[in-house]
């Protein structure tokens, strides 16, 4: 075999093995990111239960109200210190992940994991309005970045794994693997390739498997349909969808 043919053959073999390796790494990232987000969900549930008990106690014992405000002040101080320690934990965390993929940010994954986890639990535990979608995505992505750095992956591979982590984070947060895949491809990476799709699917499904084994098959949001919509109203639904889409464009 000529040297040129051998070089081409080795390149093809490396490319094929790279695709398979990404799928296996996606499974690993899904398990790790899923475990992190599951822990986040569990702690949120514990703090929510504790918050309701505290509020009920405060209603029955008015003397506790000043104490509760003092606790809120201490919690706010801790969250402020966490923000000063790592400003990149502010907000939902989704823009930070997009900046990471574009190469404009280089987050310290271990600091973001610690600060986002602690700050998010404190904020939610104090009754602040903070959804778990954004924090779960950032936590999943940073867990994936940690896996990439510890296993010494190349930069291109790391970006794929971060996308997998974001997909796994959303999947574990809401038991929604398909939503996790679509979100990571459309919003985070903004580029679709067979390798990215397969690895994101592997991560999202694995993360969902971890989440369902902890929280069960019960849906996060339950809707009760009392009656079916008549076909004559479907046109109104299309108009409503167009108006909501227009409002979304105008407000973003």
Domain that holds residue 37: 3-227
pLDDT recorded at residue 6: 47
Number of structural domains in the chain = 1
Q: Is there a domain that residue 238 lies in?
A: no
pLDDT value, residue 3: 45
Is the residue at 117 inside a domain?
yes
Count of CB atoms within 10 A of residue 206's CB? 24
pLDDT one-digit tens code per residue, 186-235: 887 777 888 888 999 999 999 999 999 988 877 665 667 677 778 888 88
Query: Which tens digit of pLDDT belongs to each residue from 1-13?
Result: 544 444 445 445 5
Grouping H, G, I as helix, E, B as strand and the rest as coil, residue 73 is: helix
- Tell me, yes or no, whether 244 lies in a domain: no
Residue 8, domain member (yes or no): yes
- Spell out, as residue ranges, where the chain has pLDDT lower than 50: 2-8, 10-11
d(CA 178, CA 49): 29
Question: Is residue 240 a part of any domain in this protein?
Answer: no
pLDDT score at 8: 47
Euclidean distance between CA atoms 153 and 230, whole angstroms: 54
**What is residue 33's predicted lDDT score, i.e. its pLDDT?**
94
Question: Dihedral (C-alpha) 68, 73, 77, 79: value to the nearest 10 degrees?
Answer: 60
How many residues are listed for the chain in this entry?
Answer: 252
Query: What distance in Å separates the CA atoms of residue 109 and residue 30, rounded to the nearest whole number?
Result: 16
Residue 245 domain flag: no
Q: Which residues contact 4 (CB under 8 A, 6 or more apart)?
A: none
Residue 69 lies in a domain: yes
Query: pTM to 2 decimals?
Result: 0.79
The per-residue DSSP string of 106-133 comes to ---HHHHHHHHHHHHHHHHHTT----SH
> Does a structural domain hold residue 152?
yes
What's the CATH code of the domain at 31?
1.10.3080.10
What's the confidence (pLDDT) of residue 242? 93
């Amino acid at each position: 075999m000529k040297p040129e043919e051998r070089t081409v053959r080795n390149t093809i073999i490396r490319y094929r093995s790279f695709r398979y390796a990404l799928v296996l790494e996606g499974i690993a990232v899904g398990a790790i990111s899923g475990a992190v987000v599951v822990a986040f969900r569990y702690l949120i549930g514990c703090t929510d239960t504790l918050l309701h008990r505290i509020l009920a106690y405060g209603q029955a014992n008015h003397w506790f109200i000043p104490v509760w405000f003092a606790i809120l002040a201490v919690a706010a101080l801790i969250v402020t210190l966490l923000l000063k320690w790592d400003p990149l934990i502010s907000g939902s965390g989704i823009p930070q992940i997009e900046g990471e993929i574009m190469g404009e940010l280089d987050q310290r994954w271990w600091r973001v994991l610690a600060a986002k986890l602690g700050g998010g639990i404190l904020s939610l535990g104090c009754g602040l309005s903070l959804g778990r979608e954004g924090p779960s995505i950032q936590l999943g992505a940073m867990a994936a970045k940690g896996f990439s750095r510890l296993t010494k992956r190349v930069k291109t591979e790391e970006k794929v794994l971060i996308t997998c982590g974001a997909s796994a984070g959303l999947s574990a947060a809401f038991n929604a693997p398909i939503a996790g895949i679509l979100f990571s491809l459309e919003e985070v990476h903004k580029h679709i390739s067979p390798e990215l799709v397969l690895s994101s699917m592997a991560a999202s499904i694995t993360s969902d498997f971890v989440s369902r084994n902890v929280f069960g098959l019960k849906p996060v949001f339950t809707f009760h349909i009392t009656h079916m919509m008549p076909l004559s109203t479907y046109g109104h639904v299309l108009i409503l969808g167009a108006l909501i889409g227009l409002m979304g464009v105008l407000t973003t």
